[in-house]
Amino acid sequence: MSVGTRQKGRRTAAPAPRPPAAPSYVSGAASVAVRPALESPRRPARVLAAFPLALYLEVRSECEPHVIAVVTGEGVRLPNAVLLGESLDGVSAGDDGWVGDGSIEIGGLSVGVRRWWDPAPALAPADPARLAAAPAVLAGIRAASPRRPGLDPAGAPALLERGCLRGSLVESITAAEQLIGLGPGLTPSGDDMLAGLLVALRHLGRAAGAPRAVWLADWLAAAVTFDARTRTTSISATLLHCAARGEASPEVLGVLRAAAGHQPPEPAVNRLLRLGHTSGADLAWGVQIGVSAVLSLLGTGAAGGPTGPARRERP
């Protein structure tokens, strides 16, 4: 077989194959939530989904975080994110990559992590008067927004709110089990609601001095994360594990600071509501339930917690 081609009787050499493009080396800033995955030995990974501002990389590991979000400066800074100043061109769903030894390699991109940020900064002590007014304020802003949550208020959401206000594990966990994976999308509506609730209970419970709310967050977190990986999407399961530890995006944390009285509520809530199609509204709904529960549980102490006697619940 000839290695060349003929052109008007002349034999010409076939073009030489192009060498593979050199990888593009960039620096990133990563959430401390993904530090264990990034500092472990290199492991294979796969792109679950790719968008202009973010891609989701599934690490082949049994440990959480199971999914790492790689986002540009204009993307949402999720609690499992690595932030880049570069575009994400040339990466598609299904592409293979590597994660570990302090870097991410995917397509022609090699990301070295140089800085870290905290997705769960502690709240300053809550202002009691602002906290007491927060549920009504949050409800009013949500009602005025054109963005609506993806769940019917009846059923599991109503049971979840009732259980959290009473500090009832039976009702709260029953509702949470119904909500995991409920709804379409990469992060179903039920998961978003639970994530907002878990973060609010933990952070505002501590900031307001409501140990019973933190106790409820601990038990709900254990129930939600137990089945998350088998009952919802990989991306959403990782975000639920983050929320269980109090880790959230700046938009969620901003609403918590507003509820505690440390910044104006309307701009913070509106920023959260703009996330996704229904994600922001579902997260805001979960936060609102969490704020109401913290107020309801203030002064109940830690009796009935993991180390104390079981609390008797009303039928």
At 124-158, the pLDDT tens digits run: 999 999 999 999 999 999 999 998 898 888 899 99
Whether 273 contacts 251, CB under 8 Å: no
pLDDT of residue 270 exceeding 70, the answer is yes
pLDDT of residue 44 exceeding 90, the answer is yes
Rounded to an integer, what distance in angstroms lies between the CA atom of residue 306 and that of residue 186?
A: 33
The packing angle between helices 279-297 and 211-231, to 10°, is 150
The pLDDT of residue 220: 97
- Looking up tokens 């579902």 gives 282
Which helix (H) or strand (E) segment holds residue 7: the answer is strand 4-7
- Please give the mean pLDDT across all residues of the chain: 88
Same domain, 208 and 143: yes
Mean pLDDT of 191-215: 97
Identify which of 155, 164, 171, 138 has the alpha carbon closest to the alpha carbon of residue 270: 138
What is the number of alpha carbons within 13 Å of residue 113 lying toward its C-beta?
Answer: 26
Give the 3-state secondary structure of residue 266: helix
21: pLDDT confidence band, cut at 50, 70 and 90? low
301: pLDDT confidence band, cut at 50, 70 and 90? low
Cis peptide preceding 65, ω within 30 of 0: yes
Same domain, 68 and 94: yes
In a domain, 186, yes or no: yes
Report how far Cα 32 is from the mean position of its chain's Cα atoms.
13
The pLDDT of residue 79: 97
Enclosing domain of residue 100 = 24-117
In a domain, 312, yes or no: no
In a domain, 16, yes or no: no
Whether 29 contacts 117, CB under 8 Å: yes
pLDDT of residue 1 exceeding 50, the answer is no
In a domain, 262, yes or no: yes
Rounded to an integer, what distance in angstroms lies between the CA atom of residue 46 and that of residue 57?
A: 6
Same domain, 80 and 33: yes
Same domain, 141 and 238: yes
Same domain, 287 and 140: yes
4: pLDDT confidence band, cut at 50, 70 and 90? very low
Question: For the ranges 15-29, 31-45, 87-101, 250-264, which has the lowest average pLDDT?
Answer: 15-29
Same domain, 288 and 155: yes
In a domain, 241, yes or no: yes
The one-character DSSP state at 76 is -
Task: Provide, rounded to the nearest whole percent, the portion of the chain with pLDDT above 70.
Answer: 87
Which residue type occupies 20? P
pLDDT of residue 214 exceeding 80, the answer is yes
Question: 95-106: string of b/e by CB count within 10 Å (b at 16+)?
Answer: eebbbbeebbbb
Same domain, 103 and 132: no
In a domain, 302, yes or no: no
pLDDT of residue 16 exceeding 60, the answer is no
Which helix (H) or strand (E) segment holds residue 271: the answer is helix 265-273
Question: Which phi and psi (to 5°) does residue 8 adopt?
Answer: 55, 45
In a domain, 11, yes or no: no
pLDDT of residue 308 exceeding 60, the answer is no
**The last residue of a domain, from among 117, 149, 177:** 117
pLDDT of residue 263 exceeding 70, the answer is yes
**The last residue of a domain, from among 117, 145, 166:** 117
Beta-bridge partners for 44 = 98
Measured in residues, the chain has a length of: 315
The pLDDT of residue 22: 56
The pLDDT of residue 19: 44
Identify which of 261, 252, 266, 301 has the alpha carbon closest to the alpha carbon of residue 124: 261
Helix, strand, coil distribution of the chain in percent, nearest 5: 45, 20, 40
Give the 3-state secondary structure of residue 103: strand
Check: pTM over 0.75? Answer yes or no: yes
Same domain, 112 and 134: no
10: pLDDT confidence band, cut at 50, 70 and 90? low
Question: What's the token pair of residue 125?
Answer: 């002590």
Same domain, 103 and 137: no
Whether 196 contacts 217, CB under 8 Å: no
Task: Provide, rounded to the nearest whole percent, the portion of the chain with pLDDT above 90.
Answer: 74
Same domain, 74 and 189: no
In a domain, 203, yes or no: yes
Question: For the ranges 130-139, 218-227, 283-292, 299-308, which has the lowest average pLDDT?
Answer: 299-308
**The last residue of a domain, from among 81, 96, 117:** 117
Total domains in the chain come to 2
Question: For the ranges 84-93, 111-120, 212-221, 267-276, which has the lowest average pLDDT?
Answer: 84-93
Same domain, 215 and 101: no
Same domain, 171 and 279: yes
20: pLDDT confidence band, cut at 50, 70 and 90? very low
Rounded to an integer, what distance in angstroms lies between the CA atom of residue 12 and that of residue 178?
A: 69
Residue pLDDT, tens place only, 161-187: 999 999 999 999 999 999 999 998 889
Burial of 48 (0-12, 13-18, 19+ CB in 10 A): middle
